[in-house]
Amino acid sequence: MIKKLIATAALATALVLPAAASPDIGKEAPNFTARTADGKTVDLKSLRGKIVVLEWTNHECPYVRMHYGANNMQATQKDATAQGIVWLQIISSPPGKQGFLEGPAAIKVNAERNAVPTNVLLDPDGKVGSLYGAQTTPHMYVIDEKGTLVYKGGIDSIPSYRADSLPKAVNYVRETLTALVSNKPVPNPSTRAYGCTIHYGS
Amino acid sequence: MKLSHHATATLLTAILFCAAFSAQAADIAKTEHVTARLVTDARSVEAGATITVGIHKLIKPKWHTYWQNSGDAGTATAIAWTLSQGASAGEILWPAPKRLMIGPVANYGYEDEVTLLTRIKLPDTLPAGEAFPIRAVVDWLVCEEICIPEQVTLELSLPVVAKGFSTGISIRAIESARMKLPVENAWPFTASVKNSKIELTAASSDISRDKIANAHFFASDWGVIKHAANQPMSAEDGKLLLTLEPYESKVPQTLRGVLVLDEKSGGKTVQQAYAVEAPLTGTLTSQNNFAMQEIGFATALLFALLGGIILNLMPCVFPVLSIKVLALVNHTRVSRHRRHLHGIAYTLGVLAFFGVIAGIVLVFKAGGTEFGWGFQFQSPLFVLLLAYLMFAVGLSQSGLISFGNSMSRFGAFGSNEGYAMSFLMGGLAAIVATPCTAPFMGTALGFAVSQPAPILLAIFFALGFGLALPYLLLCYWPSLLRYLPRPGPWMERLKQLLAFPMYATAIWLVWVLAQQAGANAVAAALCGMLLIAFGAWLLASSGKNWRALTYSFSLASIAAALALGVYFVKDATAPEQTVRANARYEAFTPTRLEELRAQGRPVFINLTAAWCITCLVNERVALERANVISAFEAANIAYLKGDWTHRDPAITQMLARFGRNGVPLYVYYPAGASAQPVVLPQILTPEIVLREIVQSKTARVEN
């Protein structure tokens, strides 16, 4: 019986898919270097001392379109960047899949929808996405000044692609940033990410 | 005229055709990816009836819509019903879903074709001859590589007929969906957390190892398991075990979902779904140091042994042990062989008691009831008998009772019967140990009860062996006794002194009894003790001539004591079943805990029992200290207290969630609905409690 249990446990451990691993809250956020839409590179480590928001996006996904269509995402970005918070959009769609954009196109899309992230990171090989276990668009992460991951999950509390959910929903990113700025504990550090599947290139 | 007649007919036909067409267009709608149709199993309806309706979706190949838990991405289909007043629609009855893997992302949904059934209850008054309209606005997200939100409105109208005249109809879309609905209460399911995994077990004679081709569990709620993780299966005849990967470091109290089995039957594979709803026992390893630890068998054995050794120092056991040690000091000249045998007899006595306890736990575990450490104290009769026993031992220490010549003292070493006494003393030490919980013990026992019988027994015996070990060592190495003072008159004095802890224990047990069985039981217990004392006095004072008579009288008075106690205690009900809320704490219930946590308040939970000495001591020395009280107030901590003096399944389950099966248990939930609970040690000081509160707070601020 014990032998069997041990064997089962070993099998279970061996078979677990490593791909979906997502970093732990309260631990150091995994470091990455990525190309930006305006042709530079960003090293996460160089942003120490600032609060960083990561927003996985796919401009054609209905959930993303809803949040931009209702000006929800832009308003959250505006309030964050106004306080000196760094907001990075990340596009992990590979070429040929929905949401993939080259740098200039990504900048243009943001201009058209009045989005104001600090920058857009291009991640067509899905390296950063896999590192963070990003699964959906939107999928949000917040990193504090010390480089610790303090939030991961959805943009808000109601998984919906319909704008009528917005007035009732708690915007978790806003909530997290307010808590961080006023030096209070993050009320909901890990929530449900919802949206369209990110189709990683193989 | 003829022409005009013809024209009228054509017009009429056209109108009829259009009407028919528009009626059909209302119960069917086509989007780019889905053809949806509103179907029902009723041809006509009557007042008060319940009918089944379904939204049948024909989905474009390779595209999918979602189940109630959509998995890592996506959103479940939603139906908004518009019905006439008095009618109501139930929840969607979801057929078993399919897991759709897209790279590392797993979604739960349907491909090709699905019917979502709903039961509609018609109003109790509905005039025959009218129509009953049904309107559904259906929202779904349909995805392949990209996702499209779609919405359709479907309508149909059913003729209302007089009671007893409604007719049904068999619709393939509804029948096939019914076949795919999970079967409720088919098998007994159990779920527990082991080695950081959730183990889901189904037990049924229907399960045969060779027939199961595949099995997969779908959790009803998001955030319970990792949707993309493999689910290793081990099947044997009569039992199926699936190992699930928990989503995060916390698990729900109940595991809900659907188990889908692919069974080989006559050359083909048949799919069958079973609804799963099982209490989830055990807890996960937490990154938090103070929190619950998951341990292995070896560690549990070691913990049990250590816990047993520490038990010797607890106030429950120490007096009993002292009696034995005193006897040993008094008999240093007894042959080695005999000493060893006494040590072994005592050890066997302890082990026998632990064997009995383990046996009871196993029997009740098999019967599905969970018992924890100290459960026997939940019986007022046991408490009463133990109070009598303590009182009798006290009388003996005081020198009032002598049980005949050969067993003149509890610590007797004189003759062979002395071995029986040593055995009984071992049992007594074990019995009086139960209201105490020593450090390490809780973890070990919590582990034990979740294990199969041999492991459980091994851990209980390790605990018993630990308890017996110090005395056993003294028996084998009496040289250790050299550190004790030389035998002398002080020993008799000490023996008499040790009677007082025994009386104190008896008083405490009567106090426990008062809470369990009320004032009458207390009076009965005290009268019983009076009778025991009287009987003992009779025995002690009996002269040779009247021996037979006094023996009978004393036995009669002891029997009367027992009868009296049993009579009053047996059917007594507790005067106060629940913890009375006061300004400082409220009664613990799982619902209240959820409420408080949802409000974002920090919560401190104290699971205790009147018979648990460790619990009472902790309350006095730590939890009721002024600085702890004010710290609780300052941090706005809600204090919930659960009383396990009587059996309470809600508390037993809460204990199990933290891998325990006995009180005390102290858990601190820091503020925030998703904060990790912290388990405090079983022996508290004000510093430990304060440190925990402050640490949780600062740890979170540092985040």
**Alpha carbon of B533 to those of B111, B396, B498: distances in Å?**
81, 10, 18
Show contacts of B574-581: CB within 8 Å, 24+ apart.
B574/B515, B574/B516, B574/B517, B574/B518, B574/B645, B574/B646, B575/B515, B575/B518, B575/B519, B576/B515, B577/B646, B578/B643, B579/B641, B579/B642, B579/B643
Q: Does B511 touch chain A (CB under 8 A)?
A: no
| pLDDT, greater one: B96 or B446 | B96
Q: Which one-letter amino acid corresponds to residue B30? A: K
Q: Does B107 touch chain A (CB under 8 A)?
A: yes
Q: Which residues pair with B153 in a beta bridge?
A: B137
Q: Which chain B residue has the Cα nearest residue A184?
A: B701
> Which residue in this structure is represented by tokens 């989005």?
A115
Tokens standing for residue B176: 């096939």
**A22-197 falls under which CATH superfamily?**
Glutaredoxin (3.40.30.10)
Asked whether the beta carbons of residue B104 and residue A130 sit closer than 8 angstroms, the reply is yes
Asked whether the beta carbons of residue B147 and residue A196 sit closer than 8 angstroms, the reply is yes
Q: Which one-letter amino acid corresponds to residue A109? A: V
Q: How far apart are CA B696 and CA B256, in angstroms?
A: 31
Q: What does the radius of gyration of chain A's CA atoms come to, in whole angstroms?
A: 18
In this complex, the residue of B243, B248, B287 whose CB is nearest that of residue A190 is B248
pLDDT one-digit tens code per residue, B393-420: 888 878 776 543 333 344 444 445 578 8
What average pLDDT does the segment B51-64 reach? 94
Chain B residues lying within 8 Å of A190, measured CB to CB: 248, 674
The most confident of A106-115, B325-334, B633-642, by mean pLDDT? A106-115
Query: B20-179 with B189-281: one CATH topology?
Result: yes
Q: What is the 3-state secondary structure (H, E, C) of B94-131?
A: CCCCEEEEECCEEEEEEECEEEEEEEEECCCCCCCCCE
**Alpha carbon of A22 to those of A29, B34, B256: distances in Å?**
10, 34, 24
Pairing mode, if any, of strands B131-143 and B254-265? unpaired
pLDDT for B293 equals 42
For chain B, the farthest-separated pair of C-alpha atoms sits apart, in whole angstroms, at: 140
Q: Does B216 touch chain A (CB under 8 A)?
A: no
Q: Under CATH, to which class is B20-179 assigned?
A: mainly beta
How many Cβ atoms sit within 10 Å of the Cβ of residue B519?
10
Asked whether the beta carbons of residue B149 and residue A161 sit closer than 8 angstroms, the reply is yes
Q: How far apart are CA B46 and CA B120, in angstroms?
A: 12
| pLDDT, greater one: B401 or B209 | B209
In this complex, the residue of A2, A17, A97 whose CB is nearest that of residue B104 is A17
Q: How far apart are CA B41 and CA B56, in angstroms?
A: 13
Q: Does B635 touch chain A (CB under 8 A)?
A: no
H or E stretch including B552? helix B547-570
What average pLDDT does the segment B607-635 reach? 84
pLDDT of B578 higher than 50: no
State the smallest CA–CA distance between residue B75 and chain A in angstroms. 7
Q: What band does B155 get if pLDDT is binned at 50, 70 and 90?
A: very high
Asked whether the beta carbons of residue B670 and residue A185 sit closer than 8 angstroms, the reply is yes
Q: Where are the domains of chain B?
A: 20-179, 189-281, 297-379+405-497, 586-702
| pLDDT, greater one: B495 or B348 | B348
In this complex, the residue of A24, A197, A202 whose CB is nearest that of residue B72 is A197
Q: What band does B236 get if pLDDT is binned at 50, 70 and 90?
A: confident
Mutation target to probe the B interface, by most B beta carbons within 10 A, among A2, A4, A5 is A5
Q: Does B48 touch chain A (CB under 8 A)?
A: no
ipTM of the complex: 0.77
H or E stretch including B133? strand B131-143
What is the average pLDDT score of chain A?
87
pLDDT for A101 equals 92
In this complex, the residue of B230, B248, B454 whose CB is nearest that of residue A15 is B230
For chain A, the farthest-separated pair of C-alpha atoms sits apart, in whole angstroms, at: 64
Helix axes A172-181, A72-82, angle to 10 degrees: 10
Asked whether the beta carbons of residue B455 and residue A2 sit closer than 8 angstroms, the reply is yes
Say if residue B664 is preceded by a cis peptide, omega within 30 of 0: yes
Residue B442: name the closest of B296, B320, B292 by CA.
Answer: B292
Question: Range with the lowest mean pLDDT among A60-64, B80-84, B682-686?
Answer: B682-686
pLDDT of B698 higher than 50: no
Tokens standing for residue B655: 């204990």
What average pLDDT does the segment B609-635 reach? 84
B409 phi-psi bin (left φ>0, alpha ψ -120 to 50, beta other): beta
Q: Does B230 touch chain A (CB under 8 A)?
A: yes
Q: Does B566 touch chain A (CB under 8 A)?
A: no
Question: Range with the lowest mean pLDDT among A67-81, B438-452, B580-594?
Answer: B438-452
pLDDT for A193 equals 92
Q: Which residues pair with B254 in a beta bridge?
A: B279
CATH 3.40.50.11900 matches B586-702: no
Stretch 157-196 of chain B: residues touching chain A, C-beta under 8 Å? 194-195
Mutation target to probe the A interface, by most A beta carbons within 10 A, among B143, B245, B703 is B703
pLDDT of B93 higher than 70: yes
Asked whether the beta carbons of residue B297 and residue A186 sit closer than 8 angstroms, the reply is no
What is the average pLDDT score of chain B?
80
State the smallest CA–CA distance between residue B327 and chain A in angstroms. 43
Q: Which chain A residue has the Cα nearest residue B597?
A: A187
What average pLDDT does the segment B320-334 reach? 72
Q: What percent of chain B has pLDDT over 90?
A: 21
pLDDT for A152 equals 94
Q: How far apart are CA A151 and CA B206, in angstroms?
A: 46
Q: Which chain B residue has the Cα nearest residue A194?
A: B73
Mutation target to probe the B interface, by most B beta carbons within 10 A, among A13, A61, A135, A202 is A135
Burial of B144 (0-12, 13-18, 19+ CB in 10 A): middle
In this complex, the residue of B228, B700, B703 whose CB is nearest that of residue A17 is B228
| pLDDT, greater one: B230 or B327 | B230
Q: What band does B7 get if pLDDT is binned at 50, 70 and 90?
A: low
Buried b (16+ CB within 10 A) or exposed e, B237-261: eeebbbbbbbbbbbbbeebbbbbbb
In this complex, the residue of A188, A190, A196 whose CB is nearest that of residue B73 is A196
Q: Under CATH, to which class is B189-281 assigned?
A: mainly beta
pLDDT one-digit tens code per residue, A46-88: 999 999 999 999 999 999 999 999 999 999 999 999 999 999 9
Quote the pTM value. Answer: 0.52
Reported residue count of chain B is 703
In this complex, the residue of A185, A197, A202 whose CB is nearest that of residue B671 is A185
Q: How far apart are CA B653 and CA B251, in angstroms?
A: 13
**Alpha carbon of B328 to those of B58, B324, B410, B476, B481: distances in Å?**
86, 6, 11, 11, 8
pLDDT of A25 higher than 90: no
Q: How far apart are CA B681 and CA B614, in angstroms?
A: 11
pLDDT for B690 equals 86
Q: Where are the domains of chain A?
A: 22-197
pLDDT one-digit tens code per residue, B266-309: 788 888 899 999 888 776 544 333 233 456 788 888 888 988 88
A-B CB pairs within 8 A amount to 131
